Amino acid sequence: MNLSKLYLLLFFGLISGFVFSQEKTEKVYTFKIDKDIDPAMNRRVKMALEEANEKGADLILIEMDTYGGAVTDADEIRTRILESDIPVYVFINKDAASAGALISIACDSIYMAPGASIGAATVVNGVDGAAAPDKYQSYMRSMMRSTAEAKGRDPKIAEAMVDEKIEIEGISAAGSVITFSVSEAIKYGFCDGEFSSIDAILQAKGLTDAELIAYEESSTESIISFFLSPAISGILILIIIGGIYFELQTPGVGFPLLAAIIATLLYFIPYYLNGLAENWEIIVFVLGIILLAVELFVIPGFGIFGVLGIVFILGGLVLGMLPNQDFNFDFVPASELFAALLTVILAALASVGLVFWLTPKVNKWGAFSTITLASTQERTQGYTSSFYADSLKGKTGIVHSRLRPSGKVEIEGEIYDAYSRGEFLDQGEPIIVISTEGTSLKVKKWEG
């Protein structure tokens, strides 16, 4: 071999080595669907698919083990998978029931672990697990059918996973929905292979050298999850109610209101981001505060506005924790409803108890006295004025003209301007003077 040929072979060898060294390493992005399908899981899948696109993944592999969950969230998840430009595989590690089956069928390939199952997609309500009305079953049937058609799977079998009335010869009898084992799923085209692990799937697909990228919850998501815990939610509710009370009792003191506002934001924002708290539920809460303020500052006494205010505040806090869809609570699990009610009620009771315990102590705190007026402005020191002598305090008389709540009273034959503590008193009712400060006597009904 002459020298020129040797140089030529060396040149091509170097070029080939450079080309092979520049070959792209396959990227496989993995994440888990291992809990109920709910707004939180919906958000996880959304963020995982977005991250897979950002990192330039060549394949997305979902590890699934779920008994299902909310149909609406499952629909959004399966739509995202169907619209994904990146191929999506699913590895059913144990169960893909109900909404999990719908999501699995939307994937490009389905793989199952030994002993796994897929199916049983009948829609049930959240109270007792009974089958939901037919309108929901019809909606689920249509989604299962169209999803199976989009991925080249038998749409009739997919429908029979929902509707027990559908009978498929040799596969299912009337009166039972289809749930496939691994071998049955492979036989009828709802599984592309049985594997013991994700690594086994990658090895079979020739992706042993692929770069694996696993979804990891960000610090922001960890903080959100922290504030979603019932215990933290309960503490925030306590601060909200306590802060509102102290602010209403001591107007002008800014930090109780500030604490209540911060607690409200920390309470609602995590639930809002996870799709639990809706706009109208937050509006219910705000409307409750407005009604309570109107009752306390505009309308004397405590009546319908005050009661509605309290109901709306507590109702908004409860609703914000629940996975309802607008005014539809059919699929809210009874356990979640009970947990939400218990959290809000216990926190409200605890805040009331804390308020009564703290109120007489708070003015004695040195730190508190630096930001609020804790001293009493006594009349003897010239702080208050009155048109009437102190001797009228404790005197009894009758209503001269109806108190609504202000009017006139008669005491020892003399007529005085007066007002009650909020109650309406009719003409002739007995009264007793409880304060002489200001330009009118403050009275209340006398039971003596």
| Share above pLDDT 70 across residues of the chain, in percent, rounded to a whole number | 83
Distances (CA, A) of 206 to 107, 192, 193, 196, 265: 20, 16, 15, 16, 49
Which pLDDT score, from 0 to 100, does residue 23 have? 53
More confidently predicted of 379 and 207: 207
Where b means 16+ CB within 10 Å and e means fewer, 129-154 reads eeebeeebbebbbebbbebbeebebb
pLDDT for res 405: 76
In the block, residue with structure tokens 């607690």: 263
> What is the token pair recorded at 32?
């888990």
The pTM (predicted TM-score) of the whole model is 0.67
pLDDT value at 426 more than 90: no
**What pLDDT does residue 266 have?**
92
Report pLDDT for 22: 46
Q: What is the pLDDT of residue 283?
A: 93
pLDDT at 271 over 80: yes
Residues 6+ apart with CB under 8 A from 70: 36, 37, 38, 39, 99, 323, 331
pLDDT of residue 220: 81
Confidence of residue 24 (pLDDT cuts 50, 70, 90): low
Task: Give residue for tokens 């009275």.
Answer: 443
pLDDT category of residue 390 using cuts at 50, 70 and 90: confident
pLDDT(119) > 80: yes
Q: Is the pLDDT of residue 153 over 70?
A: yes
12 pLDDT above the threshold of 80: no
Segment holding 110, helix H or strand E: strand 109-112
Out of 5-19, 137-151, 259-273, which region has the weakest mean confidence (pLDDT)? 5-19
What local confidence, expressed as pLDDT, does residue 3 receive?
54
The predicted structure's pLDDT at residue 243: 85
Tell me whether residue 70 is exposed, middle or buried, using C-beta atoms within 10 angstroms of its C-beta: 0 to 12, 13 to 18, 19 or more: buried
Average pLDDT estimate for 278-283? 91
pLDDT at 69: 85
66-75, 211-220, 313-322, 347-356: which has the minimum mean pLDDT?
347-356
Q: If you average pLDDT over residues 412-424, what whole number do you get?
A: 84
pLDDT of residue 128: 58
DSSP 413: T
Is the pLDDT at 134 greater than 60? The verdict is yes
Per-residue pLDDT for 19 more than 70? no
Overall average pLDDT of the 259-268 stretch: 91
Please report the beta strands in 3-87, taking only residues with DSSP state E, as ranges in sequence order: 27-33, 59-66
What is the structure's pLDDT at 219?
A: 81
Say what the pLDDT of residue 276 is. Answer: 81
